Structure 1
Amino acid sequence: MNSDIRVAIIQTDLVWENPEENRRLLEAKINTISTEVDLIVLPEMFTSGFTMNPDAVAETMEGKTIAWLKDITKAKQMAIMGSLVVSENNNFYNRMVCVEPSGTITTYDKRHTFTLAGEHNVYTAGTEKVLFNYKGWRICPLVCYDLRFPVWARNVEDYDLLIYVANWPKVRIDAWDTLLKARAIENMTYCIGVNRVGLDGNNFEYSGHSAAYDVLGNRIDTLSENEEAIQIVTLEKSAIKKYREKLNFLNDRDQFNLI
């Protein structure tokens, strides 16, 4: 299948440690999307903000947020992605979920926990890179701090779309901008990053800078910084094939195994 897909990026503020209110506000934003889209992407920890207090917000995979996502995706016939705090087997995870209209759920647990904030002391790190197929696209989901580690994202599987969700603070936003573009270029893939805006409960400021890049590193969105916004971008499957066959850069990539 060579069909294009339309992705809605939701750049939003988050209510600190309040899943019910975040679900309400996000549903209102989702309901404003009047054009047809295939996939909606929400920020990291979209039910709570980037909290180190998981006891206050953690849910199971049978909890209210997963049920809410299933209801919306089924009603609107579009998939939704984002991360939330999940409790499982006596551990807490910063877990990316992708819920499809069919009810299929793909999960990815954040591999690189953010040691500067002590995330490694609170959340269990994931161990597996995850790829999934949706509407003919091979998608690689990653979370925030993963962006700083290119080996983990290296496109050895010929995936088509790399998606990062984040709570990336304004003070280091230049790194976010630079690395998102780099991941697109080095992997010859579409790369989308969705970051929040506003202040969190620790008074860290977030300026958004959500963005979408094509396989050559050209920015294809028009999102502004510091503002809540929804941007829909169209990703062209034919462009991936065209430039990979023309330039063949991935054919020269280094071979390695993660240990």
Structure 2
Amino acid sequence: MKVAVVQHTICENQIEWNLQQITSLFDQQSGADLYVLAETFATGFMAEDATAHADVQGARILSWMKQQACRLDAAVAGSVAMVDEDGVLRNRLYFVRPDGTFDYYDKHHLFSYAGETKDYVAGNRRVVVEWRGVRFMLQVCYDLRFPVFVRNHGDYDTIIYVANWPQKRRDVWQTLLKARAIENQCFVIGVNIVGSDKYCEYLGDSVIINAYGKAIAQCTSGEVGTAAAELDMDELNRFRRKFPVLEDAD
């Protein structure tokens, strides 16, 4: 399983510009089975226009994800501000397959510090999707700080974290990604943006980490780009059998 992380900038509310940039980055990293984008990758986090027009914009972004998944013959994952069937706003992480089918996870831990709870409604379920022999747990940004919700019960192999994580909390991002990989004996994929918005500066530090807590692929800090790694399931399963952390868990 080849996974590519796509580290990009976000021009707030400039959906078409953002999607064009990301399409170009996809083409720089061909042949992956899965491409992972950041949180609210097409609009920016809590962008006012995205919140106000999430019904139309969310549908447009999901359509683009389906087109790209088909074109690349790969899954595409990333979060979108989306109005659901009940008319409420969700920070929704889509996992889209080449045939147009998809699963989704609604961000469970909304970022109250920045006011996300004022407009968005939290999800209440864990979501694991299987793709080409690998099971992925879907998570969004602030979820990274809450290990109990994501505790591995033997039901997944990889956690995906998509984020808009600021430079000033860079050490937390890097430390907790490693911790989640080690304690859950799994791969961790962390994708963050670069650049700046009216709130923060972002360095990216997008990375793929193995179950030993070691980075096996990473983007250059502060730069737009991609990185890719093979998720070796045979190696992961050998490690789990040899050192049965999950079987000994509380």
TM-score bracket for the superposition, by shorter chain length:
over 0.9
Q: Output the CA distance in 2 between the equivalents of 1:144 and 1:62.
A: 19
One of 100, 113, 116 as aligned partner of 1:116? 113
In the TM superposition, what is the alpha-carbon distance from 1:62 to its structure 2 partner? 7.6
Alpha-carbon distance, 1:47 to partner? 0.8
CA 1:47/1:93 → structure 2, altered by over 3 Å: closer, same or farther? same
Residue 66 of structure 2 is aligned to residue 70 of structure 1:
yes
Contact preservation (8 Å) 1:17, 1:57: no
State whether structure 2 residue 180 is matched by structure 1 residue 180.
no
Give the 3-state SS of the residue equivalent to 2:109 in structure 1.
coil
How far 1:229 moved relative to its partner? 1.1
Counterpart CA distance in 2 for 1:222 and 1:50 is 23
Displacement after TM superposition at 1:158 (Å): 3.1
Tell me the SS of whatever aligns to 2:149: helix
What residue number does 2:200 align with? 204
Kept in 2, the 8 Å contact 1:17–1:56? The answer is no
Greater mean alpha carbon deviation, residues 187-196 or residues 63-72? 63-72
Check if 1:43 corresponds to 2:38: yes
1:215 corresponds in structure 2 to 211
Deviation at 1:190, TM superposition (A): 0.3
Segments of structure 2 that go 5 or more residues without pairing to the other structure are none
Q: Percent same amino acid at aligned positions?
A: 38
CA separation of 1:23 and 1:222: change in aligned 2, threshold 3 A = closer
- For the residue of structure 1 that corresponds to 2:29, the secondary structure is coil
Q: Deviations over 1:138-192 (max 9, x none)?
A: 1101000000000011001331111100000001110000000000000000001
| SS across alignment from 2:55 | coil
Give 3-state SS (helix, strand or coil) of 2:216's partner: coil
Tell me, yes or no, if the aligned pair for 2:25 and 2:225 is still in contact at 8 Å: no
CA separation of 1:80 and 1:170: change in aligned 2, threshold 3 A: same
Say which is worse superposed, 182-191 or 20-29, in terms of deviation: 20-29
**Matched residue type, 1:87:** V
**Alpha carbons 1:17, 1:51 under 8 Å: kept:** no
Any idea what the Cα deviations from partners look like across 1:77-125, whole Å, max 9, x if unmatched? Answer: 0110000100122211100001101211010000000011000111000
Paired residues in the alignment total: 248
TM-score, normalised to structure 2, is 0.95
Residue range with higher mean Cα deviation, 55-64 or 107-116: 55-64
Shift of 1:70: 1.1
Q: TM-score, normalised by structure 1?
A: 0.92
Distance of 1:32 and 1:171 partners within structure 2? 29
Report if aligned partners of 1:45, 1:83 keep a CA contact under 8 Å in 2: yes
The residue aligned with 2:131 is 134
User: Cα–Cα, structure 1 residues 62 and 207, in superposed 2: closer, same or farther, change >3 Å?
Assistant: closer
2:190 to 169, 188, 193: 193
Separation in structure 2 between the aligned mates of residue 222 and residue 45 of structure 1, nearest angstrom: 21
Verify the 8 A CA contact 1:139 1:159 in the aligned structure 2: yes
Q: Which runs of 4+ in 1 moved over 6 A?
A: none
Map 1:75-94 → 2, pairs under 5 A: 75-88=71-84, 89-94=86-91
Q: Measure the CA separation in 1 of the matches of 2:47 and 2:110.
A: 11
Residue identity opposite 1:39 in structure 2: L
Q: Does 1:163 align with 2:160?
A: yes
* 1:244 corresponding residue in structure 2: 240
